[in-house]
Amino acid sequence: MSNAEDFGPAVPDTTPAGTRLPRLWLLRHGETEWSREGNYTGLTDIPLTDAGEAQAVAAKEKIGAVDFDLVLSSPLIRARRTAELVGYPDPQILPHAHEWDYGDNEGRKSTQVRAENPGYLIWNDGVPNGETLDQVAERADRIISLVQAGCGTPMDRSPDTAPVEKVLLVAHGHFLRILAARWLGLPAEQGRHFVLGTAAVCTLGWDKHTPAIVRWNY
């Protein structure tokens, strides 16, 4: 099986200094009881199911032998445990990498919400008493800026050390879909087009200095 390093341009996109432009791997957390049942799961801090833990272990093979310069995680236990199971027990925690705050929809089945509100789509209609789509996108933009800022260095390294080129972010379905849209320079609502399964991996990178999706939902 080819690993994630086998994909991408034959000639890497580089900065004027000759360093490779940073790439961002996305990993959605494994299954939880609520994700299995189709419930909105935002800030509620629930653990992985046994199946979710097995999915996370399997994701380690999907990532392959990538030697990440920096591993980031949402603060929520389902993401942190997923990071641990793929081999990164001590990721850098980003408080703003949490899932969409679903407000009054938190914990409710999406089918129930749609039954009560025919035609409801979170991408169009938002959530009552929760975050707006723009607020979620602003959090995603902060992470993109961190990764793209001149091949910056992690906060615990000296600026004189090698630049960060390969970053892994372990987080959540809606949040990562929005982040992918924003990486491409698209409006956040275009994240609706990027289906993302539990414990799925994606790679964001470049094509001739244009932000691009290298692989998605594998």
Domain boundaries, the chain: 18-215
Binding-site residues, in ranges, read 41-42, 78
Mean pLDDT rounded to a whole number for the chain: 90
Name the E strands within the chain: 23-28, 70-73, 92-93, 166-171, 201-207, 210-215
DSSP classification of residue 112:
H
> pLDDT-based confidence at 18, cuts 50/70/90?
low
Which residues does the annotation place in the binding site for substrate?
A: 41-42, 78
Of residues 13 and 125, more confidence is placed in: 125
> Contact at 8 Å (CB) between 201 and 59?
yes
Q: How many angstroms separate the CA atoms of 173 and 177, rounded?
A: 6
pLDDT 10s digits, 80-97 = 999 999 999 999 999 999
CB 162 within 8 A of CB 177: no
CATH 3.40.47.40 fits 18-215, yes or no: no
- According to the model, what pLDDT value does residue 148 have? 86
Which residue, chain included where needed, has tokens 């692989």? 215
- Given a cut of 70, whether residue 39 has pLDDT beyond it is yes
Coil, helix or strand at residue 156: coil
Average pLDDT over residues 32-44: 98
Higher pLDDT, 77 or 208: 77
3-state secondary structure of 145: helix
Q: How many CB atoms lie within 10 A of CB 208?
A: 8
Both tokens of residue 183?
Answer: 């990486």
Instruction: Tell me if 179 sits within 8 A of 144, measured CB to CB.
Output: yes
Please compute the mean of the pLDDT values over residues 121-150 and round it to a whole number.
94
Cα(134)–Cα(138) distance, rounded to whole angstroms? 6
Helices within 64-160 (DSSP H only): 77-85, 110-116, 122-125, 133-148
What number is the average pLDDT over the span 72-78?
Answer: 98
Element (H, E) at 34: helix 33-37
Catalytic residues: 29, 99
Angstrom distances, CA of residue 134 to CA of 72, 97, 124, 147, 178: 22, 14, 12, 20, 10
Spatial distance between the Cα atoms of 56 and 84, rounded to a whole number of angstroms:
9
- Only one residue has tokens 């993401």, namely 79
